[in-house]
Structure 1
Amino acid sequence: MNLTRRRGAKALFITLGVFLTALAVTLNITWIHNNGRRLALDLVGALLFAILIAGVVLNTVFLVREIRRNERQDSFLNAVTHELKTPIASIRLYLDTLSRRSVDDAQRQRFYEIMRDDTDRLLGTVETVLKAGELGHRQRAGLRTRVELHPLVADCIATVLNRHHLPAESIQLEPVPGAVRLYVIGNADDLRTAVLNLLDNAVKYSPNGVHIQCRVGIERYTWVVLTITDSGLGLASSDLKRIFKRFYRASSNDRVKIKGTGLGLFLVNTIARQHGGSVRAISEGVGQGTTMVLRLPLSIVNDPTSTEAA
């Protein structure tokens, strides 16, 4: 109901803006036609007309943006509510079952495992929301160390495989060419958060089978580049940049129900920027898979400003 109302409001503001602009153009042309001999007044009128049109256009743009922002926030709240309520309801159901019925040890252990997974899911949602708020208000330069990226990615892959109960061959990590050790200066926890979100996203958007290829390499002797390629749903060209905005969910994947808060890639983009790097998405289109490219400044081995992470 709120979505329909907001769409109606958006259409109203756009229509009103177009109408006022057309009315202003008509009045200005009429005024110039009736007072064509007074050049000075014509110039003043044209200037005032331009200011009026700019104000109307800016007002309409700001109103439409505000409506879109509110829509994204509503979608985020709905997603977070679902992500919080679902595991809580599941945990309560199994606890009620254990308290009211006698179950054998094998079934009890299965219930415990399911509740543990639901607890991990609940904790992950809370941590994502808290991390999004935390990253937007601070720089953690004082906590930065020298981190080797390849082992960090390998550790994140092991975590994701275990989290989603995937076989080892689902996510492959290529060795670094020449067995070079590639370091970056950064906060290890934040970098791990970024890599985990990229991997989780690749898994979630591969509903027909997880086949992910990861590679850590060097670019132009100054950048460490992590590429994560999946064979999943892919992205429309219009979504390639928008997916890194807060609360944004790719419109090209509306046909498939994907759980999430719309904060994962926003976190990745924020962390990359805070580390002097960038992240971008590459996709040939819907159904063609996606490649995520995370670029971070390479740390020189003898950099005196950093300490190596344990």
Structure 2
Amino acid sequence: MGNLNCKNQVSGSIPFQPAKDMVIVTPISHRPLTLRTPVTLGVVLIVLVVLLTAVWISGTVWGAVRNDSTSGMFWVMLGAGAPLLVAVLAGVIAYLTLSVKAFNLNRRQSNFIDSVTHELKSPIASLKLYLQTMTRHDVSVEQQKEFHLIMLEDVERLDSLINHLLDAARVERGGEAYEASDLSLETVLSKCAQGACVRYKMPPETVSIHCPAIYVHAPVVQIEILFRNLIDNAIKYGGSPPKVELTAVCSPTGDVTVSVLDNGTGIPANLRRKVFGRFVRLGSELERSKQGTGLGLYLVRNITHALGGRINIQDGHWTVATETGPTDSTKSAGADQPPSNPESIANRKPTGTRVDVTLPNGKIIQPETGADEPPSKE
């Protein structure tokens, strides 16, 4: 024992001496990828091509205006070479643009992998924990019921994530035909709103719907994916507590516009086009508290375009409470019409986000024709 302590003391005081044939592998330092190098190289190439073009055109023009026997050759060179140099310049600019887009896509895919990994790991770890607890310990019946409910929520979370990925794959693949039918827009919106409230454990009054008897001729699968993602996004990024308002109107030409208004912090104007891209989520995945994969609004945009519609995103407007009491926009606007009181309009302020989706092939059913029957095709 004494010799062992002595050896330990001696070995602790002697510095490490690598052997002659020992190879020490240094850790690899991963530098974060940036656009500095490709952008700098692209700008330098563009400047060089521009200078080369200017010098070559100047020399060729000078040789062509000398009115000697070689002037014709210079004119031919000018006519053939100038378009080629312009094409080279356009190619360099296009290559730089594609490089920037590829870099941004790679970064978004990295964020997507981080988010999906988190979305998969959290419920699996929770399921494993509760199953191990029920296997190794005696659990009462009440605790078993509680554990079963929690595990069911985790399974539904996994099922929702998988459905989201499958929807994105179908939209990306394209070419899949869906049978269109006459759908009651109010029924579809109510179904999507109820499902969203259940998923996020919100009361039913979180989502208010103002929709007359409008029917849309479209595939039910695409319509449900469209509005499910819009409502999920509105609840997820709404205020605390979230508040969502759905308003649908139908124009005489058959265009149906559904507005989804939330009470969140809003989206900056310079990022409103980017949020519809694939894998796009604002901020860093490592500092994010909201669940998601960055595919919701991407699905919304693609499905809207596939149905021949258009989409617009802007600041939301909620009525501010006055001294006479709260004047909610839903109360002042009624079911279908905007508020007619000028004072209530003046009391509105931009807050949150409003997404307007306009779809064709819509028709409103008047009360006297019966709202329970679908519209007849003309």
CA distance in 2, matches of 1:219, 1:254: 45
Out of 233, 238, 258, the residue aligned to residue 206 of structure 1 is 238
CA distance in 2, matches of 1:124, 1:165: 15
CA distance in 2, matches of 1:277, 1:271: 9
Residues 159-308 of structure 1 mapped to structure 2, 5 A cutoff: 159-176=195-212, 181-206=213-238, 208-251=240-283, 257-283=289-315, 288-300=351-363, 301-303=375-377
Tell me the SS of whatever aligns to 2:351. Answer: coil
CA distance 1:266–1:19, change in 2 (3 Å) = same
CA distance in 2, matches of 1:255, 1:228: 27
Q: Name the structure 1 match of 2:371.
A: none
CA distance in 2, matches of 1:52, 1:142: 44
Write the letter of the residue equivalent to 2:357. L
CA distance in 1, matches of 2:285, 2:113: 19
CA distance 1:118–1:3, change in 2 (3 Å) = farther
Write the letter of the residue equivalent to 2:291. K
| Residue 48 (structure 2) pairs with residue 16 (structure 1) | no
Aligned length: 297
Q: Deviations over 1:1-34 (max 9, x none)?
A: 9995432xx2211100111122233344445566
Out of 74, 78, 82, the residue aligned to residue 110 of structure 2 is 74
Write the letter of the residue equivalent to 1:232. G
Deviation at 1:201, TM superposition (A): 0.5
| Residue 134 (structure 2) pairs with residue 98 (structure 1) | yes
User: More displaced, 134-143 or 248-257?
Assistant: 248-257
CA distance in 1, matches of 2:126, 2:290: 19
Write the letter of the residue equivalent to 2:220. A
Deviation at 1:165, TM superposition (A): 1.1
Work out whether residues 311 and 355 of structure 2, in 8 Å CA contact, stay in contact via their aligned partners in 1: yes
Work out whether residues 255 and 361 of structure 2, in 8 Å CA contact, stay in contact via their aligned partners in 1: yes
Q: Deviations over 1:150-208 (max 9, x none)?
A: 111112111111111112222111252xxxx2111122132112111111101111253
Tell me the SS of whatever aligns to 1:79. Answer: helix
Q: Deviations over 1:192-243 (max 9, x none)?
A: 1211111110111125321111112213441122111001131111222222
CA distance in 1, matches of 2:81, 2:29: 42
Tell me the SS of whatever aligns to 2:308. Answer: coil
Query: Relative contact order (C-alpha < 8 Å, sep 6+): which is higher?
Result: 1
CA distance in 2, matches of 1:21, 1:142: 47
Structure 1 alignment gaps of length 5 or more = 305-310
Out of 127, 152, 159, the residue aligned to residue 116 of structure 1 is 152
CA distance in 1, matches of 2:146, 2:58: 83
Structure 2 alignment gaps of length 5 or more = 1-27, 65-74, 318-349, 364-374
Tell me the SS of whatever aligns to 1:249. Answer: coil
Write the letter of the residue equivalent to 2:105. R
TM-score, length of structure 1 as denominator length = 0.85
Q: Name the structure 1 match of 2:33.
A: 6
Cα RMSD after superposing both structures:
2.8
CA distance in 1, matches of 2:284, 2:356: 20
Tell me the SS of whatever aligns to 2:205. Answer: helix
CA distance in 1, matches of 2:195, 2:30: 37
Work out whether residues 24 and 49 of structure 1, in 8 Å CA contact, stay in contact via their aligned partners in 2: yes
TM-score, length of structure 2 as denominator length = 0.71
CA distance 1:48–1:268, change in 2 (3 Å) = closer
